[in-house]
Amino acid sequence: MKRKLLAFSVTLALLLSVFSAASVSAFPVTPDGSQSEWFGKEPDTSGEGMLARNAAGQGQWIFNDSKGSDVRNIVANTTAYTREADIDIFSVTGDASAVSFLLRVERYSGVTNNPHLDLKITVDTDQAAGSGNRSLAGLSNTETVSVTNDAAWEYQIDATVKGTQDPPPGSGTGPVDLKIWKGAAGSSSTCSGCTGKVASASVFQGSIVEVRVPWSNFSLSPAGKPAVNKPWRFTASTFLKNGSTYEQPNDGNSSVVIDTLGTKSTLADMNEDSNTINTSFDVYFNTAGEPYSPLLITEFQPNPIGKDDPGPTNTDTHDTEWIEIYNPGTTTVTLRTSRSAMQPSVAPAPRPC
C-alpha cells in the first residue's frame, strides 16, 4: 500500500507540473556577464546535459562539456593559449520575448583578448530532411566546417567577443559583436534587438558570455515562440578569430574549430575527414518560451515486493525498480541512445492507468 501511495504521489505531482507548465513565469535574462540570473548547476558528470527548474517553475537547459583534453590547442612560444575558447558549461533558456544563451569558458589567458573568442550557434527549427544549411557561415572556403544533415540549420548566431582589453576579474563587462545568418543562402544581417555581454571572473569561475536573441529574429510563423512539442536542434562551437582569419590549431587537422559542445574531445566529436560536427542537442520550449522536458517519470516503485512483470531474466531474483515514463507531447522519438549522448530521444509512452 505504501509503495502504491508513493507511486500515485509522484505521478500526481509530475502531471500537475505538466498542466501548469504553460502558466509559470518565464525566465528573462538581461545580459550583464554576471551569471547571476542563471540558477542551474551543471551535471556532476562532464559530457552530460540536464533540464533544471527552480521553485518558480522556470526552466533552464544546462550542459557540462567534456573536460581535460577535449579542447584543441594553438601553441605559440611553447604556450597554449586556447583556454579562452575551452567550453566549460553551456545553457539555454527563454521567455516570452527572446531565447538566451550562456557560455562559460576558461578564464582568458591574455589581457588583450586577441585573437577574439568567437561562438557559433546553429539553430535547426524544423528538422526536415533536406532543409537548411550544413556548412557553417562566415568561414572562408579553406576553413569549411559542417554540421550533420539532421542538424542542418536555418539560422546561425555568431557572437564575437571584441574589445582591446580583457575585463578585470570580477568586474566590468566587454562588448559582444552579434550577427545572425538566415535562409538557404546563409545571408548575414545584424541581429535585431540582440544583446550580449562578457565578463571575466575569477580563475575558478572562468569567463562568462551571455547572449539574448529575440524570437522575432527567427521569422516564426505564426509570430511568437517556437511551436510547442516541436524541439529546436542546436550545435555550439568556439573559434579564435584574428581579424577576418580564424586561427588553426597546430595538431595536424585542418579544422579551425577549437572546441565543440560534446561528449568527447573536439576531434572525436567531429568527422576528421570532412570537418563535420557530429554532436547536437534538442531543446523543447513551452508556451511561455522556456525549456521543458518532453519526458516525465510518472511512476516509480522502489524495489517492488514479489515477482515483477516484466522482470529480470535472472531466475534467482525478481526484485527490480519499476519506472514508468510519459511523453506529454506529440513528438515521436525512440527510446535509444542516438549518435550523441547529448541528444536522447523518446517515443510516446502510454498514459499511466
Q: Is residue 19 part of a domain?
A: no
270 close to 277: Cβ distance less than 8 angstroms: yes
Side chain identity at residue 200, one-letter code: S
Note whether residue 254 is domain-resident. Answer: yes
User: Residue 118: which of 160, 86, 87, 166 has the closest Cα?
Assistant: 160
Residue 92 within a domain: yes
Q: Tally the domains of the chain.
A: 1
Residue/partner pairs of 27-30 with CB below 8 Å, 24 or more apart: 27/58, 27/59, 27/60, 27/93, 27/94, 27/95, 27/100, 27/290, 28/95, 28/97, 29/93, 29/95, 29/98, 29/100, 29/102, 29/210, 29/212, 30/195, 30/212
Q: Which range marks the domain in which residue 144 is found?
A: 30-285
Asked whether residue 350 is assigned to any structural domain, the reply reads no
- Residue for cell digits 511551436? 227
- In order, the DSSP letters of 309-323 are SS--S-TT-----EE
> Where does residue 332 rank: exposed (0-12), middle (13-18), buried (19+ CB within 10 A)?
exposed
**Is 272 part of a structural domain of the chain?**
yes
Cα–Cα distance, 282 to 65 (Å, whole number): 15
The pTM for the full model equals 0.78
Query: Per the domain annotation, does 73 fall within a domain?
Result: yes
In a domain, 352, yes or no: no
pLDDT tens across 178-227, in order?
Answer: 999 987 667 788 888 999 888 764 444 567 889 999 998 988 766 677 87
pLDDT digits (tens, 9 = 90+) for 267-315: 888 876 678 999 999 898 887 888 887 777 788 877 666 665 555 555 5
Place of cell 542551474: 40
Q: What is the CATH number of the domain that holds 151?
A: 2.60.40
In a domain, 245, yes or no: yes
80 confidence band (pLDDT: 50, 70, 90): low
What angle is formed at CA 58 by the lines to CA 54 and CA 63, rounded to 5 degrees?
80
Spatial distance between the Cα atoms of 295 and 252, rounded to a whole number of angstroms:
42
Q: Which of 252-256, 300-304, 316-320, 336-340 is the least confident region?
A: 336-340
